[in-house]
Amino acid sequence: METAVEMNSISHWFGKLQVIHDVDLNVEKGEIYGLLGPSGSGKTTLVKLMTGLLRPSEGVVKLNGEKMPALKQMKQFGFMAQSDALYSELTGRENLDFFASLYGMSRKDRRLRMEHVLDMVNLTVDASRPVHTYSGGMKRRLSLAASLIHEPDLIILDEPTVGIDPVLRQSIWNELNRLRDNGVTIIVTTHVMDEAEKCGRLALLRGGRMMAEDTPFRLKSKLEVSSMEEVFLHYGGGIRA
Ligand SMILES: Nc1ncnc2c1ncn2[C@@H]1O[C@H](COP(=O)(O)OP(=O)(O)OP(=O)(O)O)[C@@H](O)[C@H]1O
């Protein structure tokens, strides 16, 4: 198996506060890897460290075997942050066109790809409206579409389905599974249990520490419990950091 993301002995401090404690993590190419943990456990910080948005105080991050930060790698992944980086005066389609242009896609590729990702997130009908008229969920969906516009082979999604209704959430997960089947690596942070259940492997975080890492099935069977909720409570709620 080839490794998409490798984190070795990662620790991170904000000032005097240590928020990540000696994390080792490997994400294989073509898997859906989840980071599950309560609020403040370090999920966003970890994904920012992966993407090179933050440099770790200690340790090494590699993307596709290359030490970060590396410009080439930074162009090759899609990142959907928690806060939407959209232009509210522009329409949905204009926003996507802008992001596509950053990646140097040709006009024709851009048009085809835009329509595809708009359809995927069910925004085709609303694509000509300015983003300031969108609901929170619509903005999230547009952000997701923007992170996929250049067909990246690694996508990192920070709580992608917050504010998205269950039907659409299901359709987004269908699309993520389809991308995975085509060899795309997906890293997703979540604190929603049914979403965690859909990941191939999961890392459970608590207080910036990796408490456990395995498939959802094995995490449950090791603890002899039947739900992810119980796993989450065992590692997240039952142990004080
Ligand atoms: N720029 C920063 N400066 C100082 N402390 C920070 C900064 N960013 C995050 N932190 C702290 O680091 C810890 C981890 O935060 P992080 O955002 O990574 O958690 P999270 O698991 O993503 O939480 P949530 O689910 O609420 O988004 C928290 O204690 C947070 O207050």
- Which residues have C-beta within 8 Å of that of residue 180, sequence separation ≥ 6? 30, 31, 32, 186, 200
Q: For all residues of the chain together, what is the average pLDDT?
A: 90
Distance in angstroms between the alpha carbons of the first and the last residue of the chain: 33
- Contacts of 172-178 spanning 24+ positions with Cβ under 8 A: 172/120, 172/121, 172/141, 172/144, 173/198, 175/120, 176/32, 177/32
Question: What per-residue confidence (pLDDT) applies to 109?
Answer: 86
Atom of ligand 1 nearest to the CA of 37: 21
Mean pLDDT of 108-137: 92
Atom of ligand 1 nearest to the CA of 42: 18
Question: What per-residue confidence (pLDDT) applies to 120?
Answer: 85
Cα of 141 to ligand 1 centre, how many Å? Answer: 23
CB 220 within 8 A of CB 231: yes
Question: What per-residue confidence (pLDDT) applies to 138?
Answer: 87
Say whether pLDDT at 4 is over 60.
Answer: yes
CATH architecture designation of domain 1-76+153-241: 3-Layer(aba) Sandwich (3.40)
Question: What per-residue confidence (pLDDT) applies to 73?
Answer: 78
Mean pLDDT of 122-150: 92
Token pair 């959430």: residue: 169
pTM, entire model = 0.89
Q: Give pLDDT tens digits for 170-199.
A: 878 888 898 899 899 999 998 888 889 999
Cα–Cα distance, 61 to 154 (Å, whole number): 15
Cα–Cα distance, 172 to 117 (Å, whole number): 11
Cα of 46 to ligand 1 centre, how many Å? Answer: 10
Cα of 170 to ligand 1 centre, how many Å? Answer: 28
Q: Whose CA is nearest to atom 2 of ligand 1?
A: 14
Q: Which of 10, 13, 44, 57 has most ligand 1 atoms within 8 Å of its beta carbon, as the pocket-test mutant?
A: 44
Check residues 103 and 224 and name the one with the higher pLDDT: 224
- Every domain of the chain and the residues it spans: 1-76+153-241, 84-152
CB 137 within 8 A of CB 163: yes
CB 139 within 8 A of CB 86: yes
Question: What per-residue confidence (pLDDT) applies to 237?
Answer: 59
Tokens standing for 68? 């970060």
Mean pLDDT of 66-91: 84
Give the pLDDT band (50/70/90) at residue 58: very high
Say whether pLDDT at 60 is over 60.
Answer: yes
Say whether pLDDT at 82 is over 80.
Answer: no
Q: Whose CA is nearest to atom 7 of ligand 1?
A: 14
Mean pLDDT of 127-152: 91
Mean pLDDT of 20-44: 94
Residues near ligand 1 (Cβ within 6 A): 14, 17, 19, 37, 39-45, 191
Say whether pLDDT at 146 is over 80.
Answer: yes
Question: What per-residue confidence (pLDDT) applies to 151?
Answer: 87
Q: Whose CA is nearest to atom 9 of ligand 1?
A: 45
